[in-house]
Amino acid sequence: MKMVKLQKKNLNAFLAGLEKFGDLHGPVRRDTNDFAFQKVDAPEQIAHDCLRTILPPKKYFTKPVDTMFTFSEAEGYRAPDKDLHTKIILFGVHPCDIHGIKILDLVFGGQYRDEYYFARRRNAIVVGLDCMPDEYCFCRSTGTDFTEDGFDLFLSDIGSSYLVRVGTSLGDDIVLETSTLFQEIGDTDRRAYKRRSAQRINSFEVEIHLEDLPEIMDLEYESRIWQELGDKCLSCGTCSMVCPTCYCYDVVDQLNLDAKSGSRLRRWDSCLFKDYALVAGGHNFRADRGSRIKNRYFHKQRGFVAQFGRPSCVGCGRCIVSCPAAISLVDVLTKLRSRGNE
């Protein structure tokens, strides 16, 4: 993989020079500890100390509320043309989130390709950025702490510079655009990178074992843990909204004032909502919260493995930090392993 070096002091100049590739988006501080990806007018607005945005980058590709098409007698069905074709540069995506995007690529691809998702994917340049884990990160356990693809450029902190990995031909074009800002890497840089990498690996405070988790989950299908979690869970939907790999949506038709034309919308949904599995006739396949929260864990850690060969959790820790009821995925999985069905 092509690698170059960018001095930190040149980062903003580099980002400012990318105008012709699209609008610059990056994490911006919302509150003391909160960040959100959003469009910035100038690179200075980007918060480089952001470890975790409230919502993951999925919001760019499958929006919280998204028009699937408009309908009217005169024009029939029409795909939304707005915002599918805006080019953006998404700066500051950490490895776990890049893996999150790669997982969504699997879901929205396949036999039936969601062209809305892929149109937006094609129009987004992903500039990754490495990070130092905090006490909630467990991407090392999920194998998503490092990524070899899924980005156009990836920046790793090596002191006063970034080591830049060039992931795509487009990424290379971007580098060439402002080539004067980049330098070749040397021996000290190589050493610095390895030091940084080792330091990062050693910084993980949380570790869980996922290898045989599907089997453990099957064993603990009837565990009392699920009921206990059900009592605690508020069904507030927060964990699903903030998860980089939760993709469920609900579909509603919205009417215009003529009550004839309108649009079909999809809106992020959550398997923790009561009516998620409620079918006509009033039968609910997961009527109690315990079975719903179990489903969330099963689908991520068990179902996804069967379907795509890997769990869909990328260890970003978002659901843990943002759960009002303080339910921690790490605790649950640890307990399942150690305690089980007593």
Partner 1 sequence: MAKPIVGIFGLTGCAGDQLVILNCEDELLDLAGALDIRSFHMAMSDNDEDCDLDIALVEGSVVQPEEVEMLERIRSRARLLIAIGTCAVWGGVQAMKNEEQREKLKRQVYGPKGKDFGIIPSQPLSSFVRVDYAISGCPIEKDQFLQAALSLIHGDLPVLPDYAVCTECKMRENSCLLLERGELCLGPITVAGCNARCPAYGQPCIGCRGPVEEANVASEVNLLREKGFTLVDIQNRLRTFGGQSEVMQVAPTERGR
Partner 2 sequence: MNRENIYFPHLAQITRILPQIEDHKLFGLTFVDKSMKDNFSYRPGQFVELSIIGTGEAPISISSSPTRPGTVELCVRRVGRVTNALYNLERDDLVGIRGPYGNGFPVEELEGNNLLLVAGGLGMAPLRSLLWYTLDNRERFEDVTLMYGAKIPDEMLFKYELLSLLDRPDLRCMLTVDKDEEGIWPAHIGVVTTLFDQIEIDPSTTYAAVCGPPVMYRFVLEELLKRNLSKDRILMSLERKMKCGVGKCGHCAIGYKYTCLDGPIFTYWDAINLPELI
What residues make contact with ligand FAD under the rule CB under 6 A? 278-282
Binding segment toward partner 2, per CB under 8 A, in 17-25, 127-135, 205-213, 291-299: 291-299
Q: Binding string, 107-146, against ligand SF4, x = CB under 6 A?
A: ----------------------------------------
Assess contact for 176 and 18: CB atoms under 8 A.
no
Assess contact for 138 and 207: CB atoms under 8 A.
yes
Binding segment toward partner 2, per CB under 8 A, in 4-12, 176-184, 264-272, 326-334: 264-272
Assess contact for 2 and 154: CB atoms under 8 A.
no
Q: Is the CB of 81 or the CB of 275 nearer to ligand FAD? A: 275
Assess contact for 240 and 270: CB atoms under 8 A.
yes
| Residues comprising the chain, all counted | 342
> Residue 174 contacts by C-beta under 8 Å, 6 or more apart in sequence?
18, 21, 125, 152, 153
Q: Distance between CA atoms of 201 and 145, rounded to whole angstroms?
A: 9
Edge-first strand listing for the sheet containing 34-39: 34-39, 23-31, 88-93, 124-129, 153-157, 161-166, 2-7, 182-183
Q: Does 225 bind ligand SF4 (CB under 6 A)?
A: no
Start-to-end C-alpha separation, the chain: 51
43 DSSP 8-state letter? G
Cα 300 versus chain centre, distance? 14
Q: Binding string, 204-243, against partner 2, x = CB under 8 A?
A: -----------------x----------------------
Q: Is the CB of 91 or the CB of 138 nearer to ligand SF4? A: 138
88 φ, ψ (degrees, to nearest 5): -130, 155
Q: Does 51 bind partner 1 (CB under 8 A)?
A: no
Please give the residues from 278 up to 337 whose contact with partner 1 meets the rule CB under 8 A: 289, 321-322, 324-326
Say which entry of ligand SF4, partner 2, ligand FAD, none residue 335 contacts (CB below 5 to 8 A, set by partner kind). none
Task: Among 165, 289, 300, 302, indicate the residue that binds ligand SF4 (CB under 6 A).
Answer: 300
Binding segment toward partner 2, per CB under 8 A, in 5-13, 87-95, 190-198, 305-313: 305-313
Instruction: Find, among 242, 208, 264, the residue nearest to 67 by Cα.
Output: 264
Q: Does 92 bind ligand SF4 (CB under 6 A)?
A: no
Task: Among 2, 87, 274, 285, indicate the residue that binds partner 2 (CB under 8 A).
Answer: 285
Instruction: Find, among 266, 267, 269, 268, the residue nearest to 68 by Cα.
Output: 266
AA identity, residue 227: Q
Q: Binding string, 155-184, against partner 2, x = CB under 8 A?
A: ------------------------------
Task: Among 64, 143, 159, 324, indicate the residue that binds ligand SF4 (CB under 6 A).
Answer: 324
Q: Does 94 bind partner 1 (CB under 8 A)?
A: no
Q: Does 316 bind ligand SF4 (CB under 6 A)?
A: yes
User: Which residue ranges make up the site for partner 1 (CB under 8 A)?
Assistant: 30-34, 36, 53-55, 64-65, 231-238, 241-242, 252, 254-260, 262, 268, 270, 273-275, 289, 321-322, 324-326
